[in-house]
Each structure stands twice: as C-alpha cells, then as structure tokens.
Amino acid sequence: MRNINEDNITQAVLAAMSGCRDKRLWTVMVSLVQHLHSFAREVKLTESEWLEGIKFLTGVGHITDERRQEFVLLSDTLGLSMLVTTQNNQKPAECTEATVLGPFFVNGAPEYENGDDISNGAKGLPCFVSGRVCGLSGEPLGDVEIEVWQSDEDGYYDVQYADVAFQGRGRLRTLSDGRFHFRSILAEAYPIPHDGPVGRMLEALGRHPWRPAHLHFWIKAPGYEPLITHVFRNGDQYLDSDAVFGVRSSLVVDWVDHPPGIAPDGTHMDTAFYTLDYDFVLNPVEQHQ
Ligand code: BEZ
Ligand code: FE
C-alpha cells in the first residue's frame, strides 16, 4: 500500500481493517472512518484546524478525572447523547420517556426508606416528592428500586464539591402499590461545568451552558426496561434551550409551591416548601420464546 492519495485513502484504511474479527466493531469503525473522511473532505479541513481539533480533544482528556467527565459533556452538548438515548428507547407513547444520564450519576448512593430526607444536608428549599411506578397496563410495580440525584440551590451536585459525598442522591424502593415518597430540596437551573474545553466550545459557538431545573431518576424493575430520565420544573426559562437537548414535554410538570404550614408528611414547616408528584410508566421487556 503506497502512493496513497486523497481519492483512495478511505478505501485503503477500510482494507487495512479487513482482518477485524469482531463484526460489530468492524461495522462501527467502517462507518466512523467513512464519515470522518467525508467530513474532512467536505469542509476542506486545513492542517492548523486539524491540529486545533487534536489540541481540543487533548484538553478534554486532561481535564477528565473521577469527578469530572468532559467527554460526556462533549457528547451531551453535541446532541450525541440524546440521539443515542432516543434511538435506543423507542417505546409505546404511554410509557415515560427517557433522557440523558449526564455526568453526575455515581454508584453507591445511600439507601433510604420512603419518607426519608435524601438531601442529607444539601442546601435548598424543602421539596416533597411523591409518585407511583407502574407497568404499561397500569399494573403497580412494588419493591422496585428508584435512584434519584439532583443539584442544590446553587446548582451544584455533591460530586462538584471537593469535600462532600452523597448529598441530594439516594436509592429507595416503591411500596407494594407502586407508590414512593421522599423529602429533598428544590432543584434549580444550573450551568453545566463550563470552565474547560467544552465551555470554551459553547462560548465560541454563541451557546449558553444552562440546563433547566430537574430531578434525575433511574428506575429498575425486573421484567421491565430500565428507565433513566428526569422530571423538569414547569416555567423554567431554559426548557426550550437546554444545553444538552434533553427536555421532553411529557417530563415537564408543575412543582407546586406552598407557604409555611403543614407538609405532606405532617411536619410543620417554618419556611415555604414545594411538592412534586409524578407517575412513571415502564415498558415490559419483550419475551423472546
Ligand atoms: C445533568 O443533568 O446532570 C447533566 C447532563 C448533561 C450534562 C451535564 C449535566
Ligand atoms: Fe442534572
């Protein structure tokens, strides 16, 4: 293989991969190489632009560590995460829609009982969350794991603080009738981390980094497709310009504000508080006989 030119290089790279034994890897890489080459041809990529791209990706790698996932942010802000989520979560219209996982999920969140306060010291106005998990035919799904995570009143997740762990996140199980309820804090709109390469990219593109206020849910029920989603707060100014393209109308609900008084769990609240009620519908896993 010599004297490669701009007309035959794509074919040469594809031929070099002909020994790949993993069929799926081969399919993905053939397409990736073809699209990358088409992109370079289409925009007539210059050498200095190519070098800028390499520097950018190097920066994305350098800032990424256990607590900061710049590659996920890049995928999210380019709409790739939401595209992958959407094409892998086609389900009947009655089912709750999925949205992006995001970079702030962490394993090992504490387990709570229904009624517990999962804020665990995170700052914000109290918010009482309740709802129900059921299957497509309305069957209540009891003893199902619900994982939630959220930002505090300053728009930060616990993992964004150097010395904080497991605030505003937790796991609980639905009751036998599919219901669940817990106390937390009011989620606020926040900018995704934008002090790195992805933030500079957004700035250069004339884009803002904000996400509308939301609460993350990951629901796992045996026999049903797992559901990774958010519930968004109606009225938020960023619902139509989410930096990661994750908003679905079906996930936007009223988070009701209440003056000081009696909360749903009977507690007397000296401050204003919020309530949020949302029911989730899971899609049964197809049975292959
Ligand atoms: C999040 O909702 O936690 C999130 C999603 C994508 C990028 C940044 C944050
Ligand atoms: Fe979030």
Among 64, 71, 76, the mutation site with the greatest number of ligand 1 atoms within 8 A of its Cβ is 76
Distance of CA 72 from the midpoint of ligand 1 (Å): 9
pLDDT at 288: 64
Q: Which ligand is nearest to the CA of 76?
A: 1
Among 149, 211, 230, the mutation site with the greatest number of ligand 1 atoms within 8 A of its Cβ is 211
Ligand 1 binding pocket (C-beta < 6 A) is 73, 76, 100, 102-104, 192, 211, 244
pLDDT at 242: 98
Please give the single-letter amino acid code of residue 31. S
Please give the single-letter amino acid code of residue 114. N
Which residues of the chain, if any, have pLDDT below 50? none
* For ligand 1, atom 6: residue with the closest CA: 102
Distance of CA 67 from the midpoint of ligand 1 (Å): 13
pLDDT at 92: 95
Among 63, 100, 247, the mutation site with the greatest number of ligand 1 atoms within 8 A of its Cβ is 100
pLDDT at 286: 81
* For ligand 1, atom 1: residue with the closest CA: 102
Among 73, 101, 201, 248, the mutation site with the greatest number of ligand 1 atoms within 8 A of its Cβ is 73
* For ligand 1, atom 5: residue with the closest CA: 102
Please give the single-letter amino acid code of residue 247. V
* For ligand 1, atom 3: residue with the closest CA: 102
* For ligand 1, atom 2: residue with the closest CA: 102
For the segment 60-86, what is each residue's pLDDT rounded down to a tens digit?
999 999 888 999 999 999 999 999 999
Given the DSSP bridges, would you call strands 179-185 and 126-135 parallel, antiparallel or unpaired?
A: antiparallel
Distance of CA 176 from the midpoint of ligand 1 (Å): 32
* Contacting residues for 5 by C-beta, under 8 A, at least 6 apart: none
HSE-CB of 5 using CA atoms within 13 angstroms: 2
pLDDT at 96: 98
The answer to whether the CB of 90 falls within 8 A of the CB of 96 is no
HSE-CB of 77 using CA atoms within 13 angstroms: 26
How much is the pTM? Answer: 0.93
pLDDT at 67: 80
pLDDT at 289: 56
pLDDT at 218: 98
User: How many angstroms separate the CA atoms of 52 and 48, rounded?
Assistant: 6
CB neighbourhood size of 209 (10 A): 19
Provide the sign of the torsion angle of the four alpha carbons 119, 232, 181, 270, taken in this order: positive
User: How many angstroms separate the CA atoms of 191 and 73, rounded?
Assistant: 12
Q: Which atom of ligand 1 is nearest to the CA of 157?
A: 3
